[in-house]
């Protein structure tokens, strides 16, 4: 069978084909991530002006905002992959969900911690029970719940499937986080980056922010590919062990 006959979605379901693709992409995303994060940190920490209201604290935003975006994007990707796993029985979909989950949890944690550090000087409190903070916290617990569930079964395949169902149920939280600041008039400021009339951020601050968002994204792609490759290797080792009658 020629590769052209296989739909793109399934061409890389073959672990060997995926492994080749991943090892081709990996050096590029790793390099891009290092450069973007380096540049972003330089511009964010040194070569951008302090905010007229927030002062130097605005620099926390260059970590907080990308982490917040990634916390939601990663969950969205996990949900899409979980759905793909159910609909097309794609071989790598459930593994992707597992590979992405700790990263998503880490991004959510960074987002919460950075936001808290920013909130103390700006709002005068480490934590405020506003709608967006609460729903982001719930998202963090959804990630933790997934991570606990996936490892709780003796049969890894069963854990992956159970986790995929949980991810799909938890997806109701995503729109609540995204729109909480528009629906409820709470303390967290409304969106200033993705509005219908374009970004409402000054170019001198937009540059480091965009660099950091690019850096976070390429970092995620790099690590997720590495984790997927190691999951595939672990699966192969398990198969060999079973074949050798050790388990």
Partner 1 sequence: MSAALTLFLHDLRLQLRLSTDLIAPLAFFVLATLMVPLGVGPEPNLLARLAPGMLWITALLATLLALDRLFQRDFEDGTLDLLALSPLPLELVVLAKVAAHWVTTGLPLLVIAPVLGVMLHLDTGGYLTLEISLLLGTPVLSMIGAFGAAVTLGARRGGALLALLVLPLYVPILIFATSAIGAAGEGLSPRPHLLLLASVFAGGIVLVPFAAAAALRNALE
- What is the DSSP-derived secondary structure letter of residue 51? B
Residue 95 CB, nearest distance to partner 1 (Å)? 16
Q: DSSP letters of 189-227?
A: PPPSSS-TT---S-HHHHHHHHHHHHHHHHHHHHHHHHH
Residue 148 CB, nearest distance to partner 1 (Å)? 6
Cβ distance to partner 1 smaller for residue 122 or 144: 144
Cβ distance to partner 1 smaller for residue 6 or 149: 149
Residue 244 CB, nearest distance to partner 1 (Å)? 25
Residue 62 CB, nearest distance to partner 1 (Å)? 29
Please give the angle made by the CA atoms of 23, 26 and 28, to the nearest 5 degrees.
125
Exposure string over 136-165, b if 16+ CB within 10 A, otherwise e: beebbebbeebbebbeeeeebeebbbebbe
Cβ distance to partner 1 smaller for residue 172 or 243: 172
Cβ distance to partner 1 smaller for residue 8 or 87: 87
Query: Which backbone phi and psi does 54 adopt, to 5 degrees?
Result: -85, -15
Cβ distance to partner 1 smaller for residue 34 or 137: 137
Angle separating helix axes 156-170 and 131-150, nearest 10 degrees: 160
**What sign does the CA torsion over 203, 204, 205, 209 have?**
positive
Residue 124 CB, nearest distance to partner 1 (Å)? 24
CA proximity to 101, closest of 146, 168, 139: 146
For residue 54, the SS3 value is coil
Binding site for partner 1 (CB under 8 A): 86, 134, 138, 141-142, 144-145, 148-149, 152-154, 158-159, 161-162, 165-166, 168-170, 173, 176
Cβ distance to partner 1 smaller for residue 159 or 199: 159
Residue 70 CB, nearest distance to partner 1 (Å)? 20
């Amino acid at each position: 069978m020629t590769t052209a006959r296989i739909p793109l979605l399934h061409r890389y379901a073959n672990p060997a084909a995926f492994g080749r693709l991943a090892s081709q992409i990996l050096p590029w995303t790793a390099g891009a991530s290092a450069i973007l994060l380096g540049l972003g940190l330089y511009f964010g920490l040194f070569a951008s002006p302090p905010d007229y209201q927030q002062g130097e604290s605005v620099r926390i935003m260059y970590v907080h905002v990308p982490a917040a975006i990634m916390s939601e994007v990663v969950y969205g990707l996990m949900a899409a992959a979980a759905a793909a796993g159910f609909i097309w029985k794609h071989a790598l979909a459930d593994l992707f969900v597992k590979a992405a989950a700790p990263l998503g949890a880490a991004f959510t944690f960074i987002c919460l911690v950075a936001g808290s550090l920013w909130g103390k000087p700006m709002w005068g409190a480490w934590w405020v029970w506003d709608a967006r903070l609460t729903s982001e916290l719930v998202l963090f617990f959804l990630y933790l719940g997934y991570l606990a569930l996936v490892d709780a079964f003796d049969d890894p395949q069963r854990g992956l499937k159970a986790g995929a169902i949980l991810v799909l149920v938890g997806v109701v939280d995503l729109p609540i986080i995204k729109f909480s600041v528009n629906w409820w008039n709470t303390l967290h400021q409304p969106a200033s980056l993705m509005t219908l009339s374009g970004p409402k951020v000054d170019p001198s601050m937009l540059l480091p922010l965009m660099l950091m968002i690019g850096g976070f994204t390429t970092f995620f792609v790099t690590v997720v590919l590495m984790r997927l490759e190691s999951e595939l290797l672990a699966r192969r080792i398990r198969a060999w062990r079973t074949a050798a009658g050790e388990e």
